[in-house]
Amino acid sequence: MPLHFLAGQPAPQSLLVNLNELEKAYYETKPDTSNPAQLAAFGTSGHRGTSLDGSFTESHILAVCQAICDYRQSKGYTGPLYLGKDTHFLSAPAQKTALEVFAANGVNVIYQENDGFTPTPVVSWLILQYNKLRQEIADGVIITPSHNPPSDGGIKSNPPNGGPADTDVTGWIQNKANEYLKAHLNGVKQLPYAAAVSASNVEAINFAKDYIAGLETIIDLQAIADAKIRIGADPLGGAGFAYWEPIAEKYGLDITVVNQKIDPQFSFMSVDRDGKIRMDCSSPYAMQGLVALKDKFDIAFANDPDTDRHGIVVPSVGLMNPNHYLAVAVQYLFTHRNWSGVGVGKTLVSSGIIDKVAADLGLKLVEVPVGFKWFVDGLYNGTLGFGGEESAGASFLRFDGSVWSTDKDGIILNLLAAEILAKTGKDPGVLYQEIEAKFGRSFYTRIDQTTTPEQKAAFKNLTPEKVTATALAGDRVTAKLTNAPGNGAAIGGLKVVSSGGWFAARPSGTENIYKIYAESFKSKEHLEQILAEAKKIVDEALA
């Protein structure tokens, strides 16, 4: 995909979404249930869409939330449902709708006081804390489309294990929600908003206080304070904005929040590589504002709107590639924590450098399909010390080896960067350069390849036997995978590995494209050769 001429530039007025149109469409547009694009569709991170095309409306939230109530009842969950929202414009009306449904169904729902915002990892943390101490079972709902453009909305369910819901849960909720949509919402219970927020089963509290107090069980905050690390934090207009100053005050940290704007148009953003406004803290184009400040701080970092992703900016290299930071985090954590018998989790499209670091440390590597849900059980039961994915999302265990969160936590990954600098005297960019000096350079990329709906469907039928290639860019093929080696789960695509690199291909859930991830351990030219051959191999396997 070619680089847009606006990539990295301040967002022009012409790109800003019309908030009045968004709100009007949210309440007035009724989904066309004969159009699959306007039904509830739970991907790896819940249902997402926009009111402007009828894919995220009041009707969707009414149906999805009633389906969640039905699911909770079928499972006997009687504890609270923790409800969070991020700063996307559609998140506010969606939370109001959700409260109307949950209150009407008698669900004990708890949400952030003062109509505030809540990071995804905080909801995960709250669920786990509650369920650790009580017999009643709590779960949660987060209203967020993650780093998606300002016009989007999203809603996801986190079950009692605190993590992203698995497909058995999301499939049930999705199907039930679509039944309600097709029945014109017959059977959906709803109270007026004023009655909902004053109902006895609805409570607003401060979510931040206990989560912030718990951070000392997972990050060496005293070391950061003692080292006087100068930190710049950019919430990118997201739910984390209310957390950084209280964290700094409680633990005596030198944190400057460089952007305190909450603007649902996200007009302060730089344009992403494709010409859209997208709050992607791993994108060098979207992160231009913070990258420009890299020499003013010892460590700077950002989060996406629901604060589950991290972006690390260091004087040595600027914005770190997410794969590079994951490798540094693994090396540091497993040499600075007294964990015993725990492994490293990574998605199979994350860098092979992580594999080399894990092998060097004698660690068990668990390679899983794309999606953080695959790390939930390992983090929950303490068999994975760390789980991370290529898209800048990760979590890890507390000092004592117990679970912290089972969803991605951008707050702890950002603070870990400061701890790494405080304890080693080197920023993570320098440490990655040392990793490369030891294991060799890595050349990694991801591209989008146009395809047809028929080819996308054919990905489901791929088997290793359909790959006839015996070499990849001059190196012998050593593995052909359609299932993840770490847990045997289908990857929804294909991965081909050689001694000199690898590629993986998987279809988009929403567009007629498939994504090719590729890595070479030789050169940029070798990476280009892998990409060229990957397209041929995939097309032949799908034929």
Q: Find out whether 402 and 380 touch, Cβ atoms under 8 Å.
A: no
113: which residues sit within 8 A by CB, 6+ positions away? 204, 205, 206
According to CATH, what is the number of the domain 211-258+293-439? Answer: 3.40.120.10
pLDDT mean by block of 10 residues, the chain; 543 residues: 91 98 98 95 88 98 98 96 98 98 98 97 98 92 96 97 94 97 98 98 98 98 98 98 98 97 97 96 96 97 98 97 97 97 97 97 96 96 97 97 98 98 98 97 92 87 94 97 95 95 88 90 98 94 88
Element (H, E) at 155: strand 152-158
**What pLDDT is stored for residue 449 in this prediction?**
86
Query: Which candidate in 146, 151, 270, 395 is catalytic?
Result: 146
Topology (CATH level 3) of domain 14-206 = Alpha-D-Glucose-1,6-Bisphosphate; Chain A, domain 3 (3.40.120)
Q: Find out whether 142 and 84 touch, Cβ atoms under 8 Å.
A: yes
**What pLDDT is stored for residue 510 in this prediction?**
64
**What pLDDT is stored for residue 543 in this prediction?**
83
User: Is 146 among the residues known to form the active site?
Assistant: yes
**Alpha carbon distance 52, 32 (integer Å):** 13
**Alpha carbon distance 465, 164 (integer Å):** 32
What residues does 496 pair with on adjacent strands? 480, 503
Q: Find out whether 309 and 408 touch, Cβ atoms under 8 Å.
A: yes
In the block, tokens 């964290």 appear at 247
Q: Find out whether 40 and 181 touch, Cβ atoms under 8 Å.
A: yes
Can you say whether the dihedral through the CA atoms of 451, 457, 459, 462 is positive or negative?
A: negative
> pTM score > 0.85 for this model?
yes
Structure tokens given for 133: 């101490």
Range(s) of the chain covered by CATH 3.30.310.50: 443-542
How big, in percent rounded to 5, are the helix, strand and coil portions of the chain? Answer: 40, 20, 40
* Neighbouring C-beta atoms of residue 441, cutoff 10 Å: 13
**What pLDDT is stored for residue 450 in this prediction?**
85
Topology (CATH level 3) of domain 443-542 = TATA-Binding Protein (3.30.310)
Range(s) of the chain covered by CATH 3.40.120.10: 14-206, 211-258+293-439
